[in-house]
Amino acid sequence: MGLLVVAGITMLLSNPRHRAFYRGWPGAGGPRSAFSQTPSPGIASPKPSAPARGGAGAPTTVRIPAPDKEGRVRVPITEAVPARLPASGAPAGWDVTEFAGKDPAIELMRVDGRVALRLRSERNSFAVHRDLVLDVRQYSILTWTWKVVRLPNGGDVREPGRDDQAAQVYVVFPRWPSPRTASDVIGYVWDSRAPVGTTLRHPRAPNVRIVVLESGPGRLDTWLREQRNVAADYRALFGGEPPRAGKVALMIDSNDTKSDAEALFGDLTFSRPSSPSLTEIPTTMLR
């Protein structure tokens, strides 16, 4: 994940539609946006966006459901399952942005009894992403499943020249007037070599913090369930209370190592904490 990619993650938030929507949230420091719906507590949904590149050409409509009775907000990997699977291109409700290389391989498929999103990188870098305006202080627990099939050869988040990961989940907290450089970003990654528990500030993007949740080939081809307390992580990594999240992204890259990578992702879920202390990151963060 080179500097171009890191800049791109925050650039995803710089479009005027997202700014107007996010700042239109009551109490967000601006007038209520005409794009906003009447939200459930902590949640809102923007109007349809432009068609996703590589998708079927239909407008991408971001719909974030109200929390269920157990206080969970599901972020589905697709808003609508196609009649035929596998289906190529960005799934309904998501957009794709290319950072390096070309021809991103994105495929919605049924595997192991579930619908999953497969990302494959061949010396390139790209992300699928969607708007999500959410108060993570209320819905602080982020849970998702992922499975890595192939790791980039020798990727290492600690080395700028080899900064490739097969599976990455980002939560972006936009800050205006300079979202490209001021937005806070937390990235949860499956690295090839960096030890589990490694946390660091990206050397070329001080607004991006990385947490290594999985590492190496020991659990390849296995569905893993991850859970993070995003609010607690934000406090530990940035030293303050988290603002509202504005976007989530799933990413893969192998451009620095000039190799290949492949991963699958399931749905993401934000929920209210069930106990005062859940998963927290180590205090020995690299600074």
Q: What is the pLDDT of residue 26?
A: 37
Would the pLDDT of 46 be above 90? no
- When comparing pLDDT for 180 and 224, which is higher? 224
Q: What is the pLDDT of residue 67?
A: 84
User: How far, CA to CA in Å, does 191 sit from each of 85, 148, 220, 237?
Assistant: 29, 10, 12, 19
- When comparing pLDDT for 130 and 36, which is higher? 130
Q: CA 259, 8, 119, 216 torsion: positive or negative?
A: positive
Would the pLDDT of 123 be above 60? yes
Mean per-residue pLDDT for 140-147? 98
Q: What is the pLDDT of residue 2?
A: 53
Q: Which residue is it, tokens 């021809």?
A: 103
Percent of the chain at pLDDT exceeding 90: 65
Asked whether 151 and 138 are in contact (CB, 8 A), the reply is no
CA trace torsion 248, 220, 202, 119 (10° rounding): -40
Q: What is the pLDDT of residue 28?
A: 38
Mean per-residue pLDDT for 77-101? 96
User: Around 196, how many Cα atoms within 13 Å sit in the side-chain half-sphere?
Assistant: 8
Does a cis peptide bond (omega within 30 degrees of 0) precede residue 177?
yes
Would the pLDDT of 271 be above 70? yes
Q: What is the pLDDT of residue 8?
A: 62
Domains present along the chain, CATH in parentheses: 3-48+62-271 (2.60.120)
Q: What is the pLDDT of residue 12?
A: 60
What pTM did the predictor assign? 0.81
CA trace torsion 143, 266, 72, 191 (10° rounding): 20
